[in-house]
């Protein structure tokens, strides 16, 4: 089995190149990163777990961490065994925002010419579903990163906030946009203009997170949800994700049109046929991502 895996890995590059993909990206699981830790979880390794790992500075997001995060996301995206990804931090902090010490001496010119935040929303390009498991602080860029994920689960002591105003700046990676869409204008304005944080319970009530769990079981629960997602067809999950995300970009009429096109497209997949056939034959579907 192990040698088969090695053999398949050897074939991966040319296959991807043939399929018109960019050069293969290195495997994330087990790779040596400085600011993050990656693992494969779930019974058959179908879940890619990424843990932000700068505990001394509450996982402050430095440029190096963002680069590593993007590499890990790309590697899990390319890994055919992985069907969903969980992004988490530590018990005290998911991430306390962009690294203030790194940003302290930036100028307008350096931000503008070097496209400071250009790679910070790479997560939104990932086709596989991503679940944020947030314990502790999710502040500034940390809250923005969680909001780029498809689902947010929170530990009961989590705190969400956009405190940039207290530093003399404003959110720069979607905070004013995604937060407003998630919780509505009044609460978003209050958080962005005062810098006040909200609890996990308030975040759930406002619709920012879907579920709240005890701190110690949060990641496990997120992995369980990711495993469930990974057991479905990857190609159809990607279509479902695209369709839900379109609700944030389009009018209702345009969104409904796209949804119908994607619904019709599922009928071009073997997995759609398998899903309905399995139902009729009263057995579990065996999706092959085709």
Please report whether residue 167 would count as binding ligand HXC according to CB under 6 A: yes
User: At closest approach, how far in Å is the CB of 187 from ligand HXC?
Assistant: 18
Please report whether residue 219 would count as binding ligand HXC according to CB under 6 A: no
Largest CA distance in the chain: 65
User: Among 68, 164, 221, 227, which one carries the catalytic annotation?
Assistant: 164
Site for ligand HXC in 22-81 (CB under 6 A): 57-58, 60
SS (H, E, C) 186-255: HHHHHHHHHCCEEEHHHHHHHCCCCEEECHHHHHHHHHHHHHHHHCCCHHHHHHHHHHHHHCCCCCHHHH
- Residue 279 tokens read as 């139902």
141 among known catalytic residues: yes
43 among known catalytic residues: no
Among 52, 82, 98, 179, binds ligand HXC (CB under 6 A): 98
Please report whether residue 89 would count as binding ligand HXC according to CB under 6 A: no
The residues near 71 (Cβ < 8 Å, ≥ 6 apart) are: 25, 26, 28, 31, 33
Nearer to ligand HXC, 83 or 171 (CB): 171
Total binding residues for ligand HXC by CB under 6 A?
22
Please report whether residue 101 would count as binding ligand HXC according to CB under 6 A: yes
Continuous H helices in 106-165: 108-113, 141-148
> Which residue of the chain is nearest ligand HXC when measured via CB?
140
98 among known catalytic residues: yes
Computed on alpha carbons and rounded to an integer, the radius of gyration of the chain in Å comes to: 20
Nearer to ligand HXC, 95 or 285 (CB): 95
Helix 234-246 with 252-266: angle, nearest 10 deg? 170
DSSP state of 176: H
Residues at the interface with ligand HXC (CB under 6 A): 57-58, 60, 96-101, 117, 120, 137, 139-141, 144, 163-164, 167, 171-173
């Amino acid at each position: 089995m192990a040698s088969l895996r090695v053999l398949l890995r050897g074939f991966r590059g040319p296959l991807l190149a043939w399929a018109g993909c960019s050069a293969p990206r290195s495997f994330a699981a087990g790779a040596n990163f400085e600011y993050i830790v990656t693992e494969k979880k779930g019974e058959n390794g179908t879940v890619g777990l990424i843990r932000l790992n700068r505990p001394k500075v509450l996982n402050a997001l430095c440029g190096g961490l963002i680069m590593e995060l993007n590499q890990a996301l790309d590697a899990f995206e390319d890994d055919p065994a992985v069907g969903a990804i969980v992004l988490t931090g530590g018990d005290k902090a998911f991430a306390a925002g962009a690294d203030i010490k790194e940003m302290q001496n930036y100028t307008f010119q350096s931000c503008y010419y070097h496209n400071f935040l250009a790679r910070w929303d790479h997560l939104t390009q990932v086709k596989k579903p991503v679940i944020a498991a947030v314990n502790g602080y999710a502040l500034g860029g940390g809250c923005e990163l969680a909001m780029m994920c498809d689902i947010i689960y929170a530990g009961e002591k989590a705190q969400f906030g956009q405190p940039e105003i207290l530093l003399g700046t404003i959110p720069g990676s979607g905070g004013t946009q995604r937060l407003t869409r998630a919780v509505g204008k009044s609460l978003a304005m209050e958080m962005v203009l005062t810098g006040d944080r909200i609890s996990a319970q308030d975040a759930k009530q406002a619709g920012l997170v879907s579920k709240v769990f005890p701190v110690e079981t949060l990641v496990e629960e997120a992995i369980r949800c990711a495993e469930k997602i990974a057991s479905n067809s990857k190609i159809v999950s990607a279509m479902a994700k695209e369709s839900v995300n379109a609700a944030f970009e389009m009018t209702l009429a345009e969104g409904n049109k796209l949804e119908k096109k994607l619904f019709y497209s599922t009928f071009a997949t073997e997995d759609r046929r398998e899903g309905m056939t399995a139902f009729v034959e009263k057995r579990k579907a065996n999706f092959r991502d085709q």
